[in-house]
């Protein structure tokens, strides 16, 4: 685990049902807030983001009373909030990314939240590369729908507008390469889609770009397409910067898989059909 991410893992708690959670008070200290009252508006704003993203607030933010050690060393029962991993993700997204600890938190909770959606990190790590690609491509397909909705609300209206908007995201992530240039770099035919010819690492980078762009468009209430384009470019650039800081391979330098997503899906469907028990008439 990245050294910068360890503090977030160390303050994680487990409740009586075996579910992980974080204390808002503990998280506020880790994120550099001098007093908890200064952190409470961030929690309130994060609850609003939770509603806007289609999630139920009580599923991720639970008001509780917790025993807290005060200045004298004595303990007192004070209001706290039990935060799910997704709630923490929303909280750090509303923090100042120029602070190293918040930037580290944004990466940690974004990646971990995405993994949590699989329900089991171990299961994901055991998946074969082809299965990972199929999973991530389907995830990206769904999140691109949400990105389209957020972009439309920001003034990206026509098909051409959206193509330009998408290219800004690609240019940020791929060091200036647009969709056409990525297509050419992969030596694909005109009918082939670049997302169907990415390995799991490249798909994951694009999934991160899409989810973060959608969140930022909604969170910042972007209202014109020029600003939306710039936002998408900056998000792509930020993901690229994170990859560089982690010592990863730039997406344009990742290998193009031999088989497309369509070929994998066809093979998976065929296998599923073969394994399907015959019906008795």
The three-state (H, E, C) secondary structure of the chain, written as one string:
CCHHHHHHHHCCEECCCCCEEEEHHHHHHHCCCCCHHHHHHHHHHHHHHHHHCCCCHHHCEEEEEEEEECCCCCEEEEEEEEECHHHHHHHHHCCCCCCHHHHHHHHHHHHHHHHHCCCCHHHHHHCCHHHHHHHHHHHHHHHHHHHHHHHHHCCCCCHHHHHHHHHHHHHHHCCCCCHHHHHHHCCCCCCCCHHHHCCHHHHHHHHHHHHHHHHHHHHCCCCCHHHHHHHHHHHHHHHHHHHHHCCCCCHHHCCCCCCCHHHHHHHHHHHHHHHCCCCCC
Half-sphere exposure of 154 (CA within 13 A, CB side): 28
pLDDT of amino acid 77: 86
pLDDT of amino acid 99: 73
CA distance 169 to 83: 31
The candidate with the shortest Cα–Cα distance to 109, out of 25, 178, 46, is 46
Angle at 6 between CA 65 and CA 80, to 5 degrees: 10
Q: Is the pTM of this model over 0.75?
A: no
Domain assignments of the chain as residue spans, ordered by start: 3-93, 129-262
The candidate with the shortest Cα–Cα distance to 151, out of 236, 206, 213, 235, is 213
pLDDT per residue as tens, the chain (281 positions): 456 667 888 889 998 878 889 999 999 988 888 888 989 999 999 999 888 888 899 999 999 988 877 766 778 888 999 999 889 888 888 776 677 777 777 777 766 666 665 555 555 655 678 888 999 999 999 899 999 999 999 999 999 999 999 999 999 999 999 999 999 999 999 999 999 999 999 999 999 999 999 999 999 999 999 999 999 999 999 999 999 988 999 999 999 999 999 998 888 777 654 444 444 43
pLDDT of amino acid 127: 62
Cβ pair 39, 29 in contact under 8 A: no
């Amino acid at each position: 685990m990245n050294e910068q991410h360890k503090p977030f893992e160390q303050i994680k708690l487990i409740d009586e049902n075996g579910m992980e959670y974080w204390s808002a008070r503990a998280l506020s200290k880790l994120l550099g807030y001098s007093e908890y009252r200064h952190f409470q508006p961030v929690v309130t704003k994060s609850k609003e983001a939770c509603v806007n993203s289609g999630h139920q607030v009580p599923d991720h933010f639970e008001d509780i009373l917790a025993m807290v050690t005060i200045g004298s060393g004595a303990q007192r029962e004070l209001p706290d909030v039990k935060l799910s991993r997704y709630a923490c993700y929303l909280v750090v997204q509303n923090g100042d990314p120029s602070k190293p600890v918040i930037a580290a938190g944004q990466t940690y909770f974004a990646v971990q939240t995405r993994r949590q959606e699989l329900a089991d990190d171990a299961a994901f790590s055991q998946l074969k590369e082809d299965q990972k690609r199929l999973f991530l491509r389907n995830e990206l397909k769904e999140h691109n729908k949400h990105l389209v909705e957020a972009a439309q609300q920001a003034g990206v209206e026509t098909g051409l507008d959206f193509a330009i908007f998408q290219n800004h995201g690609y240019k940020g992530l791929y060091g200036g390469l647009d969709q056409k240039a990525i297509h050419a770099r992969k030596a694909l035919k005109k009918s082939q889609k670049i997302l169907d010819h990415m390995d799991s690492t490249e798909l994951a980078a694009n999934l991160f770009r899409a989810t973060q762009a959608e969140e930022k468009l909604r969170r910042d209430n972007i209202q014109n397409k020029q600003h939306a384009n710039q936002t998408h470019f900056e998000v792509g650039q930020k993901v690229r910067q994170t990859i560089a800081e982690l010592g990863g391979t730039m997406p344009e330098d990742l290998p193009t898989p031999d088989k497309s997503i369509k070929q994998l899906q066809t093979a998976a469907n065929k296998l599923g059909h073969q394994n399907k028990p015959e019906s008795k008439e």
